[in-house]
Amino acid sequence: MPMLPLGDFTPDQSQFASGVVQARNTLRTASGYRPLPSAQRISATAIPPLATALTLARNTDDVVVVIAAGGDGNLYRYDRSTRGWLLVTTTAYPAMNWFFVEFGNQLIAANGVSKLQAYDLGTGSHIFADLSASAPQAKFLTLIKDQLFAGSYPDATTGTMQLARVGWSAVDDPTNWTPDLTVLSDFQDNPDCGALTGLVGGSYGVALFEKTVKRITFVGPPVIYQFDPVLSAHGCVAAGSVVAHLNFVFYLSSAGFMMFDGNGATPIGAEQVDRWFFSNVNPSTIDQMRGGVDPVNHVVVWVYPSSGSSYCTDCLIYNYVLQKWSHGDLHVSCLGVVAQPGYTLDELDPFGTVDTLPVSLDDRFWGGDKLLFAGAIDNDGYLCNLNGPPAQAVFDTREVLIGGPRRAMLQAFYPLVEGDGSMVSAQVFSRGRNSSTWKTSPVLVENFEGWIGARTEGRFHRIRIFIDGYWTHAVGLEYVSAPMGYR
Q: What is the DSSP string of 420-471?
A: TEEEEEEEEEEESSTTSPPEEPPPEE--TTS-EEEEEEESEEEEEEEEEEE-
Nearest to 44 by CA among 87, 67, 78, 88: 78
Whether 166 has a pLDDT exceeding 50, the answer reads yes
Q: Residue 463, CB half-sphere, CA atoms under 13 Å: how many?
A: 31
Q: What is the C-alpha to C-alpha distance for residues 81 and 78, in angstroms, rounded to an integer?
A: 9
Residue 163 pLDDT exceeds 90: yes
Q: What is the pLDDT, as a whole number, of residue 354?
A: 55
Top-confidence residue, 297 or 153:
153
Backbone angles phi and psi of 141, in degrees to 5:
-155, 155
Q: Is 235 in contact with 208 (CB distance < 8 Å)?
A: yes
Spatial separation of the C-alpha atoms in residues 50 and 74, rounded to whole Å: 11
Which domains does the chain carry? 3-28+392-483 (2.60.120), 40-385 (2.130.10.10)
The DSSP code for 185 is B
Phi and psi dihedrals of 365, rounded to 5? -55, -40
pTM above 0.85, yes or no: yes
CB atoms within 10 A of CB 114: 21
Q: Measuring CA to CA, which residue among 238, 373, 377 is closest to residue 293?
A: 373
Question: How many angstroms separate the CA atoms of 464 and 24, rounded?
Answer: 11
| Rounded-to-integer distance, Cα 442 and Cα 25, Å | 22
Which residue would you say has higher pLDDT here, 158 or 369?
A: 158
- For residue 369, name the pLDDT band (cuts at 50, 70, 90): very low
Residue 228, Cα to own-chain centre: how many angstroms? 28
Which value, in Å, is the radius of gyration of the alpha carbons in the chain? 25
pLDDT over threshold 80, residue 368: no
- Percentage of residues of the chain with pLDDT beyond 90: 68
Specify whether the CB–CB gap between 288 and 311 falls below 8 A.
Answer: yes
Percent of the chain with pLDDT over 70: 91
pLDDT in tens, 217-275: 999 999 999 999 998 878 999 999 999 998 899 999 999 999 999 888 999 999 999 99
Minimum mean pLDDT range among 207-216, 348-357, 457-466: 348-357
Residues 6+ apart with CB under 8 A from 349: none
Residue among 474, 359, 331, 375 at smallest CA distance from 35: 474
In whole angstroms, what is the distance from residue 187 CA to residue 204 CA?
Answer: 16
pLDDT at residue 486, rounded to an integer:
59
Give the chain's length.
487
pLDDT of residue 343: 47
Distance of alpha carbon 138 from the chain centroid: 24
**In whole angstroms, what is the distance from residue 13 CA to residue 42 CA?**
39
* pLDDT reported for residue 306: 94
**Residue 65 region, left (φ>0) first, then alpha (ψ -120 to 50), else beta?**
beta
Q: Is the torsion defined by CA of 223, 224, 225, 226 positive or negative?
A: positive
